[in-house]
Amino acid sequence: MFYHVKELQFEAKPERPDPLFAKKMQELIGGQYGEMSVAMQYLFQGWSTRGNEKYRDLLLDIGTEEIGHIEMLATMVARLLDNAPVEAQEEAAKDPVIGAVLGGMNPQHAIVSGLGARPSDSVGNPWMGSYIVSSGNLLADFRANLNAESQGRLQAVRLYEMSTDRGVKDLLSVLIARDAYHQNQWAAAIAELEEKEGLLVPSTFPREKERLDIAYTLYNFSQGEESSTGRWANGESLDGQGEYKYVQSPQPEAEKPLLEPAPPKLHNTLPMDKNKTMM
């Protein structure tokens, strides 16, 4: 059960309307790493968690917080769109300078949502459920969560640098701070699970069933050898179960594949004969 409180957790009020910045802010709502993505990702991970109540509770805490972030951003977008109907945009466009600023307004903000936020990114792509990761393996999922918060904070910081509006910056400073905590939080949860399970996901697959002779090898498949100096190419592996090594010129283990012709009823291109142009 969810319970909505009408007050916002933090203020979301710009100093002045700015339809162009409203368009930019949409990325933090419906972009791949926006608040809709992390809210749904954490909630679905939480709802699917079995037998780990501590992590389930954590996921539902953070997922529900992210719903509040969506509301704050949607409120900010709506206020940035105040007094900015299409007619005003067209009138302003008569002035080349103002027109250059307002010309980037998302027309869907006026045509589709009536000066409200949309469940889409900054160029109008609709939010997609395929953005979210929820595998049932908490270590794998928490690593995805850490990446999502890293990308989300990066985008919020970039928007902060683009704005001169104190109200916009105040809201972004909140989101940036919460993304910082969430990065710390997921890093802590990852460390806790790695201490219990080890580095690799999944930890339950028997290692003897894989090719351990190639499990710690860096193959040089590109020009240059700079990668050979990295921690990943030398010394004991981070999982403590092998030694990293570097192979300068990887050699194939298999022969060139030669496939049989397809059945005639598939009407593929006929195979070329060695002595004729075409069979």
Query: pTM for the whole thing?
Result: 0.88
pLDDT at 111: 83
Please check whether residue 106 is in contact with residue 118, taking contact to mean a CB–CB distance below 8 angstroms. Answer: yes
pLDDT value, residue 47 = 98
What mean pLDDT is predicted for residues 149-167?
A: 98
Q: Region 217-223: what's the mean pLDDT?
A: 95
Alpha helices in 83-165 (DSSP H): 86-92, 96-102, 108-111, 138-162
Q: How confident is the model at residue 104 (pLDDT cuts 50, 70, 90)?
A: confident
Note the CATH number of domain 19-197: 1.20.1260.10
Task: Give me the mean pLDDT over the 16-28 stretch.
Answer: 95
Q: What's the mean pLDDT in 142-158?
A: 98
| CA gyration radius, the chain | 26
Query: ∠ CA(226), CA(227), CA(228), 5° rounding?
Result: 90
Closest CA to 73 of 110, 30, 115: 30
Domain with CATH 1.20.1260.10 in the chain: 19-197
Confidence of residue 83 (pLDDT cuts 50, 70, 90): confident
Phi, psi of 264, deg, nearest 5: -55, -35
Q: Which two tokens stand for residue 92?
A: 């302003």
pLDDT, mean over the chain = 92
**Residue 99 pLDDT:** 56
Q: Supply the pLDDT for residue 95.
A: 60
Looking at residue 96, what is its pLDDT? 57
How does residue 110 score in pLDDT terms, banded at 50, 70 and 90? confident
Which whole number is the average pLDDT over 104-124?
90
pLDDT above 60 (res 92): no
Give me the mean pLDDT over the 229-234 stretch: 96
Tokens of 102: 């307002």
Kindly tell me if the per-residue pLDDT of 86 is higher than 70: no
